[in-house]
């Protein structure tokens, strides 16, 4: 009897902007954040905070009008997220730029393109809102993220020697920006004025 080959379906990935989180999504997001924090990429935390603190954090993100939350899913389970921070309305001088921040993918979900997709959806959303520049900062220890951002056209414009403190001491921070019109959407005739 000949054994039939078994085909393994690749995981399905998806990214989306969310304005609310179901109980299941909140649980998935907190689980993914805890895994990222333990792995060293926890957007400020060195150890996972109590679950109620994480839940309060995510609920707070959804309440802030100048923030947009994006999630990445692997087979329907939230495995990562990113945020876009728009400047306050009274900041006319910097109204053309926004900040890409708190991007992470849980270690168990890496290698499927979610980090790239989370970055791309934020860029697309920023363009749709009329922003011209997207800024981000990253710890020097997050080498995969640095490679991704540089491959996507982000230009390093500065460093901070005391950006973050970890268990091992201070970590340098790297600051990047990307002119969104230079990425090609302005050529299609879209308005880049906020």
Q: Where are the extended beta strands (E) located within 56-186?
A: 67-74, 77-85, 97-105, 133-139, 155-166, 169-179
pLDDT digits (tens, 9 = 90+) for 68-116: 999 999 999 999 999 999 999 898 999 999 999 999 999 999 999 999 9
Contact at 8 Å (CB) between 85 and 129? no
Question: What is the pTM assigned to this prediction?
Answer: 0.88
pLDDT at 2: 67
Is 133 within the bounds of a domain?
A: yes
Is 1 a member of any domain? Answer: no
3-state secondary structure of 43: coil
Q: How far apart are CA 94 and CA 65, in angstroms?
A: 17
Mean pLDDT of the chain, nearest integer: 90
Query: What's 134's domain CATH number?
Result: 3.40.630.30
Domain count, the chain: 1
Q: What is the pLDDT of residue 32?
A: 97
SS3 63: helix
Range of the domain at 82: 13-188
């Amino acid at each position: 009897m000949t054994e039939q080959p078994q085909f393994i379906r690749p995981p399905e990935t998806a990214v989306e902007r969310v304005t609310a989180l179901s109980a299941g999504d909140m649980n998935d997001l907190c689980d993914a954040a805890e895994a990222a924090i333990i792995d060293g990429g926890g957007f400020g935390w060195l150890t996972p905070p109590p679950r109620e603190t994480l839940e309060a954090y995510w609920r707070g993100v959804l309440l802030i009008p100048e923030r947009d939350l994006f999630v990445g899913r692997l087979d329907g389970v939230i495995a990562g997220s990113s945020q876009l921070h728009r400047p306050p309305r009274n900041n006319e001088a910097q109204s053309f730029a926004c900040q890409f921040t708190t991007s992470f993918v849980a270690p168990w979900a890496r290698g499927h393109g979610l980090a790239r997709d989370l970055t791309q959806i934020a860029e697309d959303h920023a363009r749709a809102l009329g922003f011209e520049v997207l800024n981000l900062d990253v710890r020097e220890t997050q080498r995969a993220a640095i490679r991704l951002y540089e491959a996507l056209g982000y230009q390093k414009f500065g460093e901070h020697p005391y950006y973050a403190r970890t268990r091992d001491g201070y970590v340098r921070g790297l600051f990047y920006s990307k002119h969104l019109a230079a990425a090609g959407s302005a050529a299609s005739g879209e308005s880049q004025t906020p």
